[in-house]
A and B are shown apart, each in its own frame.
Chain A
Amino acid sequence: MSDRWAAIEPEPDGEMDSLFERLRWLAPPAPFAPAEAVRQRARQRTRRQAGMAGAAVAVVVLAVGGVGAGVLDSVRAAHPAGVDVAAEGSPSPTAPEPTSRPTEVPPQWLLSGADLGPQWRPTTHELFEDDPAWFWSGRCGPEPAREYRSLVERLDFAVASWQDTSTSESRRVDHVLELFATPAAAAAQLEDVKLVIESCGVPPSSGEGALILLEIADSGFAGDGSLLVIERAYFYEGEERAAEPYQRLIAVIQVDATVSTIIVDGEQDIREVARLVASLVG
């Protein structure tokens, strides 16, 4: 090793920071797109996602009608053959949906820092990928086609993430709230979550990624539609898998036409948080 780089280790931060300094002002190969062009790209993404969701709706309708029998079991369980998914939950096949149900997540339905305590501050991190934007997507096993249900009948979703700033330990609470067209659609979503949990535990074929095990530890603690899930993730470092899992608790609760997923890192009492969230929505 040459003398120039050998100096990095004894004073790692200072040497490293200066090494990275020149990267900070690196000019891009072309001018950045104007902000309007970025927003236009976002609008194109939205249209593309709407198109995908529309295609998935067609698949659901076929499956419910019997043509796609065996493909979307959870959809069929919640929606008997011949029932239009979009119409279910209405008093009659021709009656409109109740107008009192919102189509966007009201901010007051989300967990707030004040609900948790004065030391909790908002934080941001990505809980899941955008395509499809569903917390349970790709957690383990093959991607089931039925997961697109969450895009088909989900009207809106929102995320609130909170971090405990009173400790250097990682203590975080995330609340994902998904709003559906009907309580039946929300209930079916809960069934889909159970199917994902059942499919977990298949080791990855290569040494990359993590082995994720999910287990239902409790139910019914925040109403009938509530599940407590233990997630154990064995992360890989190179080719070695960690001996001890990274563990966290996840609560899933259905209230009316909503499904809340609460993820707790740390010692927060997740059942208590789940009951609080249920009261916010209910």
Chain B
Amino acid sequence: MPDEESFDAFYRASRLRMYTYVYALTGDLAEAQDAVHEAYARAWQRWTSLSRSGEPEAWVRTVARRVAVSRWRRARNRLIAHRRLGAPPPLPGPDPDSVALVAALAQLPEAQRTALVLHHLIGLPVAEVALETGVAPGTVKARLSRGRRALAALLGAAEESHV
């Protein structure tokens, strides 16, 4: 029987960080939360070996990202439902700057977005981002550089349009 106590402590300690990570990647509050719950459920299925590995958070983060991104790719179905059933009730949202940041991130290629969020939001060094995304550190640096440039341009354009 896996250790419930250690899993519960891990879940409580890391879930908010996981949630903001997935939200920054997808821009969808509710989907982010559900993807996080799903990722932790998968973690519990193999908690015995994951907890032994010493780095369960990286595993959950990767799973949550994959769950969220695959759902995001199926978002067209939700758009159809939205047209048929009307918009869901509004959820309490983040502040306008956060919304602008997440909207700008959504316009970046997935690889750049993931690198930026892992590095700047989660705080992973370049080498660990490389490890987690399966590319060379040089590729991560290039993605970060291009991503920052694109993000600055997008955020600047968004601000000018509101002036």
Interface residues of A (CB under 8 A from B): 1-2, 4-6, 8-9, 12-13, 16-17, 19-20, 22-30, 32-33, 35, 37-39, 41-42, 45-46, 107, 121-126, 129-130, 158-161, 163, 168, 170, 172, 235, 237-238, 246
Contact = CB atoms under 8 A, between A and B. Distances in A.
Interface residues of B, number: 73
7 closest cross-chain pairs (CB), A and B? A1-B156, A124-B55, A41-B41, A42-B44, A35-B8, A29-B91, A42-B41
A244 to B, nearest CB: 11
Contact of A35 (B11, B56, B111, B119): B11
Contacts of A5: 152-153, 155-156, 159
Interface string B20-51: 10011000011011001110111011000110
B79 interface: no
Contact of A38 (B20, B37, B55, B144): B37
A125 B45 contact: no
Q: Tell me if A's interface is mostly helix, strand, loop or mixed.
A: mixed
Q: Tell me if B's interface is mostly helix, strand, loop or mixed.
A: helix
B100 to A, nearest CB: 10
26 contacts: A4-B159, A9-B149, A19-B101, A22-B98, A23-B20, A26-B23, A27-B92, A28-B33, A32-B19, A32-B33, A33-B37, A35-B7, A38-B37, A38-B41, A41-B38, A41-B41, A122-B55, A123-B55, A125-B62, A125-B131, A125-B134, A126-B63, A126-B66, A158-B49, A170-B131, A237-B111
B148 A16 contact: yes
B81 interface: no
Contacts of B103: none
A173 B44 CA distance: 24
Contact of B20 (A13, A24, A46, A170): A24
A159 B120 contact: no
Given A1-B157, A238-B109, A23 B53 contact: no
A41 B35 CA distance: 12
B54 interface: yes
B40 A38 contact: yes
Interface string B51-77: 011111011001100100000000000
A195 B126 CA distance: 37
Contacts of B54: 121-122, 124
